[in-house]
Amino acid sequence: MHSTFNVLHKEDKETMELCTTVQQRGQCPPLLVVFDSHEGFTVQADGNIKDMTFIAEFAGDVDFLENRANDDCDCLMTLLWTADTSQRLVICPNKRGTISRFMSGINKHTPNGKKKQNFKFVHYDIDGESHVLLVACRDIACDEKLYCDYNGKENAYPAHHFLQLNTNEVLHKEDKETMELCRTMQQRGQCRPLLVLFDSREGFTVQADANIKDMTFIAEFAGDVNYLENRENDDCDCLMTLLWTADPSQWLVICPDKHGNISRFMSGINNHTPDGKKKQNFKFVHYDIDGESHVLLVACLI
């Protein structure tokens, strides 16, 4: 282990353990963003996910369907389906979204599609507002990709559960408590409210969806671990040093180009320039956690 690694403080370790416990209780999911050469970015379970686990809220810009009738976005989600076609609303995650925008769609009305589907979109009335939640519809094994039917074309796929707001399901007390726990953890700085945004120049980027306190734990930098000498000619633009030793043949890096999490979409800058220093709002910190090397992303005020 590198002798200059920080040892994670007791309070910070408790925060990470709380996140692990919340996952084990089925209150939030362990997920990886995985790049597939055929499908593009996909989402994969990084641990076993129990049936009925709350995966995420489907987030994005809300617009009238008639404004998006010719949209090339392949993951529009119905938010409100009314008798008056001019009032129908859709969620459009092509500019702003969460990890849900990378989840793969299938046609659940074919035998193969039904077999693949492991989560579903459910419309809920939460305190009088319409929300679309992603919920596991069976036990999902570690390393399994997440698949669902987006029901994007109302004429092609039955969408009888997309009804007007006053017929949405009302969120159960226990499920509402789970969402409130997530919000409370965000407010305490124990987890972060983030959106994935597409920028025409920079590609996918990450934006704060609410104020984030200094020293908030953003994420662990995740990916495949390899020796640097095996990746020194790699075209991946987001390699992260994991272990730096006196022996160059033992240098290790984290490679998120195939497997990663939201951290792979965070933008890099040169913090040795005045403009770069001004922009920087989080940092990578190497920690020794129970004798293992980890790289954590932490909010910082420069």
What integer pLDDT is reported at residue 156 of this predicted model? 34
Q: Pick 283 or 113 by higher pLDDT.
A: 283
**Contact (Cβ atoms closer than 8 angstroms) between residue 255 and residue 264:** no
What integer pLDDT is reported at residue 232 of this predicted model? 80
pTM exceeding 0.85: no
Q: Pick 154 or 290 by higher pLDDT.
A: 290
Q: Does domain 29-194 have CATH number 1.10.10.10?
A: no
Q: pLDDT for 64-93, tens place per residue?
A: 988 987 877 777 888 887 788 888 888 888
pLDDT band at 155 (very low <50, low <70, confident <90, very high): very low
Q: pLDDT for 188-243, tens place per residue?
A: 656 677 888 888 888 888 988 888 888 788 888 888 999 999 988 877 778 888 88
What would the mean pLDDT of 122-142 be, rounded to a whole number? 83
Q: pLDDT for 23-68, tens place per residue?
A: 666 666 788 888 888 888 899 998 888 888 888 888 888 999 889 8
What integer pLDDT is reported at residue 166 of this predicted model? 36
pLDDT band at 140 (very low <50, low <70, confident <90, very high): very high
Is residue 153's pLDDT more than 90?
Answer: no
What integer pLDDT is reported at residue 157 of this predicted model? 31
What integer pLDDT is reported at residue 291 of this predicted model? 80
What integer pLDDT is reported at residue 175 of this predicted model? 65
Q: pLDDT for 228-265, tens place per residue?
A: 999 888 777 788 888 888 888 889 999 988 888 888 88
What would the mean pLDDT of 177-190 be, rounded to a whole number? 67
